Amino acid sequence: MRNVPTVRLILLGAALAMAAHGAKTLDIYFVDVEGGQSTLVVPPSGQTLLIDTGYAGNSGRDANRIAAAAKAAGVKRIDTLLTTHFHSDHVGGVPNLLERLPVTTFLDHGVSVEDGGKYPGPYEKAIAGGSHRVIVAGEKIAVKGLDVTILTAAGKHLDGKGVANPFCAGIAPVEHESGENPQSAGVLIQFGKFRFADPGDIIWNEELALECPENKVGKLDLYLTAHHGSHVSPKSVYGLAPRVIVMNNGPRKGGVPNAWKLLHDMPGLEDLWQVHFSVAGGKERNSADPFIANLDEPCQGMYLKVSAAEDGSFTVYNPRNKYSKTYAAK
């Protein structure tokens, strides 16, 4: 019979091994910036990717919330900041962020098409203090431990063959799309078998370009809604077949009832999580309370956290109510 100290050492070793294994997840924080976007991506390597920074002002509210997520993730710097496009709810928070966390590399789609062919002044000043690069559709972003592909940028999209999308029938492009939204940089992030797409604020025609007649993105485990759920996507988005959707809406921005319904009714979808309860959606077109990070207006600015393993399994955690749900590998 083994002695007690030996058994204890074996159990301690097993516990430490399990803890080390548990730490080897890709962690994604969907930060509440009241209907804009800020998504913090932290792989096991600890090399950080931040997608957008929310709004400026409000006493640094959005930057404070990003910093809180970074603290929870155990990181003290942003290695790469990807600005999807130059609307104030995505780029405005850059100066406030730099007061709280250093940024090594700035990435974007190029100058704003809405700002006279220039970068917004505060952003231009910010990138002067770090490394800066313009990205293009189809290229990779170097983040240790991840495969990150640019799906869209500057009105261009990923080329190449995909899989025939049966949900494209009868869907046509629309006219008069312009401005910064169609310029958005969207990304596909892969961690082993786990696949997550963040399309930024692309709208109808850009979604079609990626999804029809062939789906160039592939099937997903996790999908962040395009444009905060502010517009109804073409049904071609069904071809992405995500298991879980996160909607980065605010209480009165995004979360449009018809957009919510189209996504909620997606074949095979297991759950739709929301950063906020949508006032416009009411009781009928919001997810159940456990799946919403912030119920009230004003709110505490809670994030949603996704922790993914390389086998494709992942867990979504809601700090507001300590509710979590795990999605087994398929």
When pLDDT is averaged across residues 174-180 and rounded to a whole number, the result is 95
Query: Would residue 299 count as lying in a domain?
Result: yes
Query: Would residue 73 count as lying in a domain?
Result: yes
pLDDT of residue 2: 40
* Average pLDDT, rounded, for the chain: 93
pLDDT of residue 134: 98
Per-residue pLDDT tens over the stretch 223-282: 999 999 999 999 999 999 999 999 999 999 999 999 999 999 999 999 999 999 999 999
Per-residue pLDDT tens over the stretch 293-316: 999 999 999 999 999 999 999 999
Contact between 145 and 211 under an 8 Å Cβ cutoff? The reply is: no
23: confidence class by pLDDT, cuts 50, 70, 90: low
Q: How many independent structural domains does the chain possess?
A: 1
How many whole angstroms separate alpha carbon 272 and alpha carbon 245? 5
Residue 125 neighbours by CB under 8 Å, 6+ apart: 95
pLDDT of residue 160: 86
Query: Would residue 15 count as lying in a domain?
Result: no
Query: Would residue 9 count as lying in a domain?
Result: no
Q: 18 or 103: which carries more pLDDT confidence? A: 103
pLDDT tops 80 at residue 198? yes
Contact between 240 and 219 under an 8 Å Cβ cutoff? The reply is: yes
pLDDT tops 70 at residue 168? yes
CATH label of the domain that carries residue 189:
3.60.15.10
Torsion over CA: 252, 187, 45, 78 (sign): negative
Query: Would residue 7 count as lying in a domain?
Result: no
Query: Would residue 259 count as lying in a domain?
Result: yes
pLDDT tops 50 at residue 204? yes
pLDDT of residue 13: 42
Write down the pTM of the prediction.
0.93
Per-residue pLDDT tens over the stretch 43-69: 999 999 999 999 999 999 999 999 999
Query: Would residue 160 count as lying in a domain?
Result: yes
Query: Would residue 240 count as lying in a domain?
Result: yes
How many whole angstroms separate alpha carbon 163 and alpha carbon 211? 9
Per-residue pLDDT tens over the stretch 2-18: 444 443 443 344 333 33
Pair type for strands 103-108 and 131-134 = parallel
DSSP strands (E only) in 95-228? 103-108, 131-134, 140-141, 147-153, 156-157, 163-164, 186-191, 194-198, 214-215, 222-224
How many whole angstroms separate alpha carbon 254 and alpha carbon 285? 12
When pLDDT is averaged across residues 184-199 and rounded to a whole number, the result is 98
pLDDT of residue 19: 40
Residue span of the structural domain in which 61 resides: 24-327
pLDDT of residue 17: 37
pLDDT tops 50 at residue 330? yes
Contact between 326 and 313 under an 8 Å Cβ cutoff? The reply is: yes
How many whole angstroms separate alpha carbon 305 and alpha carbon 25? 12
Q: Side-chain half-sphere of 149: how many Cα atoms within 13 Å?
A: 14
